[in-house]
Amino acid sequence: MSMEEIGGANTNPSMLGHDDVDEIQTQVEALDPSPAQDDKLQSLSKNKLRKLRKHDKLLENRILKRQKERELRKQKKLRKSLGNAEKFLLAEKLRKAMNSTSTPNIVIDCQYDKEMTYKEKTRLAQQLRRAYSSNKSADEPVHLTFANLSKDSEFFGICCKQNDGFAKYIVDIRDESVVDIYPVDKVIYLSPDSTTVLTRFEKDKVYVIGGLVDETTNKDQSLKFSENHKISSARLPIDEFFVPQQGKGTLKKILTVNQVFDIVLEWYRTEDWIKAISIVLPERTGFLPKNISPIQVIDSMQSSTLVL
């Protein structure tokens, strides 16, 4: 006879104590499952049996809960060690790329910090962190340099304050200017105000992103610096590959430092301007990719601009 079949008429809902449970268990154990014992089984009240089953269920749930907690703890530990292993592999990949002479060079020029407000410096520090973490997780990281960044400057202090572990970033931190680090004819300064349009990134050139967060107040700063130092400059081919949808989105073509850096990474990955620029200028920003082939665009760029 099953436990469900055992029961009496008592429906008193009061809870059973441990003694009650023991007593019922003794009674149930003493029962012979033969038909002759049916009467005895019937004599147990339905209510007591319900409570006994409830008690068993509670015990069972408690055991299941503990098993589940143990399993979750195990999974958490495993995830943590996998996360650490992944972090280690990413750091190794980045270190390898930084040490290789064939890795493309990108510089973020921090020379403008003296002209910035504290708030702007804080924003630039955050953009350096975003650029660094994009590089760290990139399939093919570039050789990233923060130029004009002295380790005893106020800006370096802000970077350390804003970004955990900044001083240990796997990045080249140089206090010299780009013109002192690289031959000037290898350098191309990216500037939204340049009249030259970039057709592609070349691995033997060094591309510089101006460490500026302003969009309007200090117009032409990066262009002026490149002109003063006889460095080539170039703007990203946004107009060449995208059509602005008037009345839609921000239509901003002056991008932040980390957005430009992300475009560089994506371009190196895909060698496709539409894909590269779309990751920071999705359609909602008001730019629609032009419906023409990249070859047509390159042809038109080559006939109208000085190509780098």
Ligand X SMILES: C[S@@+](CC[C@H](N)C(=O)[O-])C[C@H]1O[C@@H](n2cnc3c(N)ncnc32)[C@H](O)[C@@H]1O
Binding part of the chain for ligand X, among 54-62, 209-217, 272-280, 294-302 by CB under 6 A, reads 209-217
Task: Give the one residue of 126, 145, 148, 256 binding ligand X; rule: CB under 6 A.
Answer: 256
Task: With both helix axes pointing from N to C terminus, report the angle between 18-30 and 46-99 in degrees, rounded to the nearest 10.
Answer: 110
Q: Residue 218 CB, nearest distance to ligand X (Å)?
A: 5
What is the DSSP secondary-structure string of the chain? --GGG---S----PPP-HHHHHHHHHHHHH---SGGGHHHHHHS-HHHHHHHHHHHHHHHHHHHHHHHHHHHHHHHHHHHHHHHHHHHHHHHHHHHHHH-TTSPEEEEE-GGGGGS-HHHHHHHHHHHHHHHHHHHHSSS--EEEEES--TTSHHHHHHHHHSTTGGG-SSEE-SS-HHHHS-GGGEEEE-TT-SSBP----TTSEEEEE----SSTTTTHHHHHHHHTT-EEEB--HHHHEEE-TTSS----S--HHHHHHHHHHHHHH--HHHHHHTTS-GGGTEEE-SS-HHHHHHHHHHHS---
Q: Residue 150 CB, nearest distance to ligand X (Å)?
A: 20
Task: Give the one residue of 23, 120, 172, 214 binding ligand X; rule: CB under 6 A.
Answer: 214
Name which of 141 and 211 has its Cβ closer to ligand X.
211
> Does the protein bind ligand X through residue 212 (CB under 6 A)?
yes
The 156-195 contact track toward ligand X, x by CB under 6 A, reads ----------------------------------xxx---
Name which of 134 and 191 has its Cβ closer to ligand X.
191
> Does the protein bind ligand X through residue 114 (CB under 6 A)?
no
> Does the protein bind ligand X through residue 255 (CB under 6 A)?
yes
Binding part of the chain for ligand X, among 4-12, 156-164, 251-259, 269-277 by CB under 6 A, reads 251-259
Q: Residue 199 CB, nearest distance to ligand X (Å)?
A: 13
> Does the protein bind ligand X through residue 221 (CB under 6 A)?
yes
Residues 51, 255: Cα–Cα separation, whole Å: 69
> Does the protein bind ligand X through residue 125 (CB under 6 A)?
no
User: Do strands 232-234 and 172-173 pair parallel, antiparallel, or not at all (unpaired)?
Assistant: unpaired
Q: Residue 195 CB, nearest distance to ligand X (Å)?
A: 12
> Does the protein bind ligand X through residue 215 (CB under 6 A)?
yes
Name which of 38 and 193 has its Cβ closer to ligand X.
193
Binding part of the chain for ligand X, among 20-28, 159-167, 232-240, 264-272 by CB under 6 A, reads 232-240
Name which of 94 and 236 has its Cβ closer to ligand X.
236
Count CA within 13 A, CB hemisphere, residue 108. Answer: 29
Binding part of the chain for ligand X, among 51-59, 72-80, 212-220, 297-305 by CB under 6 A, reads 212-220
Residues 204, 187: Cα–Cα separation, whole Å: 9
Q: Residue 223 CB, nearest distance to ligand X (Å)?
A: 6
Residues 39, 27: Cα–Cα separation, whole Å: 13
Q: Residue 280 CB, nearest distance to ligand X (Å)?
A: 10
Q: End-to-end CA distance of the chain: give it in Å, rounded.
A: 90
> Does the protein bind ligand X through residue 134 (CB under 6 A)?
no
Q: Residue 289 CB, nearest distance to ligand X (Å)?
A: 16
| Residues contributing to the site for ligand X (CB under 6 A) | 190-192, 209-210, 212-215, 218-222, 235-236, 238, 253-257, 260
